[in-house]
Amino acid sequence: MKERTSTLSRRACLPILAAGLMLSRRAAAEGKSFEHWVASFRERALARGISDATYTRVMTSIKPDTSVFALDRAQPEFREELWQYLNRRVSDWRITTGKEKAKEYAGLLARIEKDYGVGRSVMLGLWGIESAFGDPDVQKNHMRPVIPALAALAWGEARRRSYWEQELLNTLAIVDRSWSTPEEMRGSWAGAMGHTQWMPEVWLNMGVDYDHDGRVTPFGKPDDALAGTARYLVERGKYRRGEHWGYEVRGVSHGMREGASKTYDAWQRAGVTRADGQGFPNPNASAKLWVPVPGGPSFLLGPNFYAVRSYNPSMNYTLSIVHVGDRVTGGSAFVQPFPGAERTPTLAEVQEIQQRLTVLGFDTGGTDGRVGNDTMMAIRNFQRKAGMEPADGYAGVKLLARLRQGL
């Protein structure tokens, strides 16, 4: 359920493909060939209740996507400071698009809020971070057929084989229920799919037929995806109706222990107040102190922050979700800047960066104002050629100023 909108450059793919081929050969040498494994796995599927007809239709002609072996082990190519991470995700494009989606789906979001208690800001933030609000370009250009990927992992990835086997069985069960087809099931290399990037297990066990069309799906209309995700946050994340995720705060002293939990009232009596000057709406609710970067903004995090974090166990990821949601629903940027941070570039500025890079011969893969791996690689190549340090691939206002000077 992580963000999956970036792609690898052709050059970066070469070692990955080679590693994938090597691992597939190793898997074959250590055990069965893929064809023999498919034949033997049928018994597991039938024991799970999957029909023989479904297994035959889906699995007998499948080819394993062996590139996933290397992706399972790959480390992120771009290292980002937290402020860069947030600037890329809490972008002008996401905020503008999120406001449009908030209006378009106001009725659906209100119904979900009434039925599950999950605030629309959280749902919009999660939807925006996970799939850019269901952007079809993300689905078309950055997703792959899920079943060949999961089949390869279940066959050849010994490190987490039982997990991949279960997710493949979950996927087959979904097809067997006629909720989806192998052709529709495109997602990340690990099998996450749709508007809110459901893993097969989540689809199968947390999904909701919210539009009452007879099937559960994270694709197409966002009704099922958003409602099922709200159900997940409530049942597995223990989301609390009527509580905010937390707040940026001021007044944190050196003697205050990070991770300490107190009520908002107790924090306020200790001198910690909201950075925007407003009061805490639920003074008796509890919150934990978090200072992600010394000298940067500090936060009090309520239980609903950790409910969102249950979707993906990354603090930075979770902060980006709740901050996007706040900005989309009228909130402001953080009051205290991060050390060394640049302001977030506007959509027009990102487009200008892409346009100038393209003119200079650095392929950004488009000039839509959205920063994916192609744009980051183009920026890094420009930075290296121009002697800029660090060559971090970040599309910021300092880079734009340098681009305006030319090479």
Q: For 75-118, what is each residue's pLDDT tens digit?
A: 444 578 999 999 999 999 999 999 999 999 999 999 999 999 99
pLDDT recorded at residue 18: 44
Residue 373 belongs to some domain of the structure:
yes
| Tokens matching residue 342 | 């640049």
Residue 272 belongs to some domain of the structure:
no
Q: Is the pLDDT of residue 10 over 50?
A: no
Q: Which residue has the tokens 């799970």?
A: 48
Average pLDDT over residues 342-346: 95
The count of structural domains within the chain is 1
Residue 14's pLDDT band, with cuts at 50, 70 and 90, is very low
- The secondary structure of the chain, three-state, reads CCCCCCCCCHHHHHHHHHHHHHHHHHHHHHCCCHHHHHHHHHHHHHHHCCCHHHHHHHHCCCCCCCCHHHHHHCCCCCCCCHHHHHHHHCCHHHHHHHHHHHHHCHHHHHHHHHHHCCCHHHHHHHHHHHHCCCCHHHHHHHCEEHHHHHHHHHHHCHHHHHHHHHHHHHHHHHHHCCCCCCCCCEECCCCCECCCCECHHHHHHHCCCCCCCCCCCCCCCCHHHHHHHHHHHHHCCCCCCCCCCEEEEECCCCCCCCCCEEEHHHHHHCCCEECCCCCCCCCCCEEEEECCCCCCCEEEECHHHHHHHCCCCCHHHHHHHHHHHHHHCCCCCCCCCCCCCCCCCCHHHHHHHHHHHHHCCCCCCCCCCCCCHHHHHHHHHHHHHHCCCCCCCCCCHHHHHHHHHCC
Q: What are residue 81's DSSP bridge partners?
A: none
- The secondary structure of 144-197, three-state, reads EEHHHHHHHHHHHCHHHHHHHHHHHHHHHHHHHCCCCCCCCCEECCCCCECCCC
Residue 259 belongs to some domain of the structure:
no
Q: Which residue has the tokens 């049942």?
A: 235
| Domain extent at residue 385 | 347-405
CATH number at residue 400: 1.10.101
CA angle 318, 321, 325 (to 5 degrees): 145
Put residue 38 in one of left, alpha, beta given phi > 0 → left and psi -120 to 50 → alpha. Answer: alpha
Q: For 182-205, what is each residue's pLDDT tens digit?
A: 999 999 999 999 999 999 999 999
pLDDT recorded at residue 16: 40
Q: For 23-63, what is each residue's pLDDT tens digit?
A: 544 454 456 799 999 999 999 999 999 999 999 999 999 99
pLDDT recorded at residue 72: 66
Residue 124 belongs to some domain of the structure:
no
Residue 401 belongs to some domain of the structure:
yes
Residue 394 belongs to some domain of the structure:
yes
Residue 147 belongs to some domain of the structure:
no
pTM, full prediction: 0.88
Does 255 or 308 have the greater pLDDT score? Answer: 308
**Cα gap 275→153, rounded to integer Å:** 47
Residue 81 belongs to some domain of the structure:
no
